[in-house]
Every structure is written in C-alpha cells, then in structure tokens.
Chain A
Amino acid sequence: MSTATPLAPRVLRQGRYEAAAMLRNGEQLVLAIVLPLLALAGLVLTPLLDGYSVSRIDIAAPGVLALCTMSTAFTGQGIATGFDRRYGVLRFLSTTPLGKSGLILGKACAVVVVLAVQLVVIGGAALLMGWRPEVAGLAPAILLLALGSAAFTALGLLVAGTLRPEATLAVTNLVWILLAAAGGIILPASQLPVAAEPIVRLLPSAALGDGLRSALVEGQFDLLSCVLLLLWAAAASLAAVRWFKWS
C-alpha cells in the first residue's frame, strides 16, 4: 500500500515539473525572456525614460523586472492553467495526493522558479549594460517581487479558472500589453496623463513598477505599493477560491 509523499516535497516536485514545462514551451520563453530583453534594450536606446534618473538603464531595469513578474505569474501561468483545465489535467492531478491546494502551491512554486531564472538572465543583462541598483533597496525589492508574484498569480488563476482557455489566452495577453504600455509598469505612473494617473496608481502593475523603482533607484521602501499588492493578492485569491472552476 502506498501513502502520500509529504507536503513539502510533493509541492516542490509539482513546482519543478510545472517550471520545466513552462521553460520548455517556446511561446512562454518568448514572453518570459525575449520580450523583456527587447523592452530593456528599447528603453535604453530611446529617450523614453529620460529625466527620471541619471542613467536610462537604472530606471529601465526595475520596470522590466516588474514586467517579467507579470509575464510569468499572470500571462504564462494563466494560459498554462487554462489549457490544463481544458484537458482535464487539473481534475486528474487533484485526485492524486497533490490535491487542489497542492496543485495551486505547485504552480506558485513554478512561478518563483521561472521568475528566479528571469532575474538572473534579465538582471544579468542589465548589469552588463551598466545597471547599478541601490543596495539598500534590494530587500524591499525582493519583498515587492514576492507580493507582485502572489497578486499576479492569483489574478492569472482567476482568469484561467473562469474563462475558456482561448479567452484566457486573449485576455491575459491583451492585459499584458495594456499594462505594459500604460499600467505604470515600465513607464512610471507619474508620466501618464493627469486624468489617468490616480487610477493607474491603484493597479497592481503600477504598485509593482513604482515600488521597484523607488527601491532600486532611490533605495526606499514604498509601503503603499506593498499594501496595494497585498490587497490585490488577497482580493484575487478570494475571488479565485470563490469562482475557480476545475472543469
């Protein structure tokens, strides 16, 4: 007779399995690595961010790391979950010792693993391009990245668990483009039209982007951004628990 593998290794194995699946998928790699690298290069080569910091790369890199978080936790993870749901993979795995909670925790682990790979690759590229982040802001930045991952993972699960996979694909990509362009993630919310700024500031994208910029450019801890991300994570998690459909 077999018993269940204990919780921690069970969840970690699921995380490793899902992370490997994400990193093997060509489209996901484009979203996770290629597009952020292009964004980084574009922001350094154009005067878009001039006036915010002494160097373009210093203001560009935190925004691109925020973009990475949204790519992996929201769009990539949302699309993968949507199709897993279509193919009955969620239902099958939830009958194994993993269960529904283990499956969700495994997905969160996979997001963390892929994000770590992105931090090394994109952060490494930025350092080569002359990025010098404020050391005092590294700890707040890690906290913000964790809260941002939680908020965007919950939002991705909410979309994937309530819409058809084709609609999830469209919605998560469209939201990614809109937030990347005007969600305060790459371009600071203060650079947006005055009428849009107060609304955009409340979005998780702006909270993460602006929070990371104040940490890594100025070495400050942006409490408001942390609280906003925490609220988004809590609200989206509650909504996902309430409305997520497993089949």
Chain B
Amino acid sequence: MPHSAAALSIEGLVKDFGPVSSLDGRMVRVLDGVRLSAQPGQVTALLGANGAGKTTTLECAQGLQRPDAGKVLLLGENPYRASPGLRARVGVMLQEGGLPPSVKPMALLKHVASLYTAPLDINALAERLGIADFGAASIRGLSGGQKQRLALACALVGQPEVLFLDEPSAGLDPQSRTIVFELIQELRAAGLAIILTTHLLDDAQKLADYVYIIEAGRTVAEGTVAELTAIEGADDLRELRFDTVPGLTLPPEQMAHLSCAEPEPGRYVLSGHIVPEDISQLAQWWSASGVMPTAISMAPRSLEEVFLEISGRSIR
C-alpha cells in the first residue's frame, strides 16, 4: 500500500546477524527483503511466528539496528541517523519493556516526560493506565501486565505521531488488555500511526487496519483483515463450528467438499465453501447421528486459517 504520506515505509529491508559460532562463523540472514508501509490514523500489524523477523524489522524502523540493505524511512527520515527532533515524534514500547528494576514507576515516567517539551500530564496518563495504583513500588516487584502498561505510558508520554508496540498484549490480564486495546483505538482515532507486532491472530483481527504477514524474514502477504480472509473472491469461504457429543463419525459424502475436524472433544469445525445446501445436509447428519448441538456459529474464515495456509505452520 505505497502512499506518499506514509509514516513509515520500508522497502527491501535486509539484515544479517552474526557471525554465529555454532554455524562455523557464518552470518544468518534474519530479514530478507521486508516491505512495509504504515499510514497515520491506522493500526498496522506485523504478524508472524516467533523468529520470523518481526522484532528485527521494528528495530530497524526504530533506528536501533542498522539495515544491511534496503530503504527505511520514518516520517521521511533515516531512523538510524535520527535527530532528537525525530525521536521526539516517535514512541517506542519494547518487547521486554526496557524498564530499570530499581526505579519507581512514577519516577521513571516523570524522568522520561522531562525529555520532551510538551509531554502529556503524567498523573492523568498514570490514572488512565492504572499505574497510579502501583506507582510507588519498585518496578522489580510489578507483574508482567503492570510492566507492560508502564512501558506503554513511557512510549506515549511524549505525545508521539508514530507509536511502535512490540507484542503489546503479552502478559496482560483481560482487564489490562481491555484498557490497552481501548487506548490503542483512541490513539488511532487521534491520527497516530501505530505499528505493532503480535503472534496473537486474535489481536491482529481485533485491532489492525492493515496486516503484513512476515515469514522467514520476508513479507509474504499483506492486506486488510477482510482482504486477507477473503482472497480470490472466495466470499463463501467460511467456518462453521458446533458443539455436541464427542466422537461423531465423519460427515456424509454430500459434504466431502468441506474439511471437518474435531480440534477438541465435542467441538467440531467445518470449513470451506459452505452453501445453504450444506446446512440442510448438516441437519440431516445430526438427525441420523441422533444428536442435537448445544452451540452453533458461523463466521468468515479466520486470519489464523489464512496464516496457516500461507506459512504452512502454526503461528504459535
């Protein structure tokens, strides 16, 4: 999705690591031509399995790593040579947080805020992210979710135009997750370009306007969630799930064009080009088996299925 006003644009990004002693001193190519573009007012998600190159891509975009080849432009500038002015316009939340354990959360937030000319009100921000509740304890004693919220506050306090979030929902309890997701949606509405990595397809499906699937250091697919889940005009590509007694025999021959699985005992998933006739076949199958489902749902196929199809392996 090339765009002249892209907040971030990456073309042909290559990054090698090494030399690796266990590989006889050879270099390892971690990124091999990543392409990506992120627009203001959108959430752009980088999706990929562990080790696919998501974090390295972000680090090149944040100026933490120097690319070996390719072009990276962050707000029109080279991030590796970023001026303090450029860095003031960009907020970064690292995967492990980057928080000093012996410091108190509010003291850290206050210090980070002092590096900007027009920071957010730290008390309001702390209140919003629930940091005020644990602001006086040392960071060492915080839970994973509390550290994530603090790292997010540190990334936001300078009122950035571009926000990088590396695995933002890692370690979050459901309540924190809701707080963080709502905030991300608000920031998008306020016009920020938000670039996040995740290996949780559910997160990408909920948050992302545009998704890049990274596999073995390459961009292998991109599009909106709707585009990715409905490629090649396959509008009737769906998933039908139902719950009933475990161990049903396979569906009748008339439904052989659909794939059928029982991922958990008693939970069934039919997927493929589901047409109205299939529903009536399904009812006959249940009737012949003498069962009544306790739950039925149908949805377009999920991003997870798209990912499996593209990468040939599970994302987790």
Contacts and interface: CB of A to CB of B under 8 A. Distances in A.
Interface string A67-100: 0000000000000000010011111111111110
Given A3-B88, A7-B84, A95-B63, A88 B98 contact: yes
A124 B115 CA distance: 35
A46 interface: no
B115 A95 contact: no
Interface residues of B, number: 34
Given A91-B98, A92-B98, A99 B118 contact: no
A52 interface: no
A88 B111 contact: no
B64 A247 contact: yes
Interface residue range, chain A: 20 to 34
Given A87-B99, A91-B64, A92-B99, A98 B94 contact: no
The listed residue with most A CB atoms (<10 A of its CB), out of B64, B85, B89, is B64
B154 to A, nearest CB: 7
Contacts of A24: 102
Contacts of A13: 111, 114-115
A239 to B, nearest CB: 19
B34 interface: no
Contacts of B161: 1
Given A91-B94, A92-B98, A2 B87 contact: no
A102 B84 CA distance: 9
A92 B164 CA distance: 12
A98 B116 CA distance: 9
A1 B89 contact: yes
B96 interface: yes
Interface in A1-43: 1-5, 7, 10, 13-14, 17, 21, 24-25
A146 to B, nearest CB: 26
Nearest to B112: A96
Interface string B46-62: 00000000000000001
25 contacts: A1-B118, A1-B161, A2-B88, A2-B119, A3-B88, A3-B117, A3-B118, A4-B85, A5-B114, A13-B115, A14-B115, A87-B99, A88-B94, A88-B99, A89-B98, A91-B94, A91-B98, A92-B92, A95-B64, A95-B92, A96-B158, A97-B115, A98-B84, A99-B84, A247-B64
Interface of B: 62-64, 82, 84-85, 87-90, 92, 94, 96-103, 111-112, 114-119, 151, 154, 158-161
Interface of A: 1-5, 7, 10, 13-14, 17, 21, 24-25, 84, 87-99, 102, 246-247
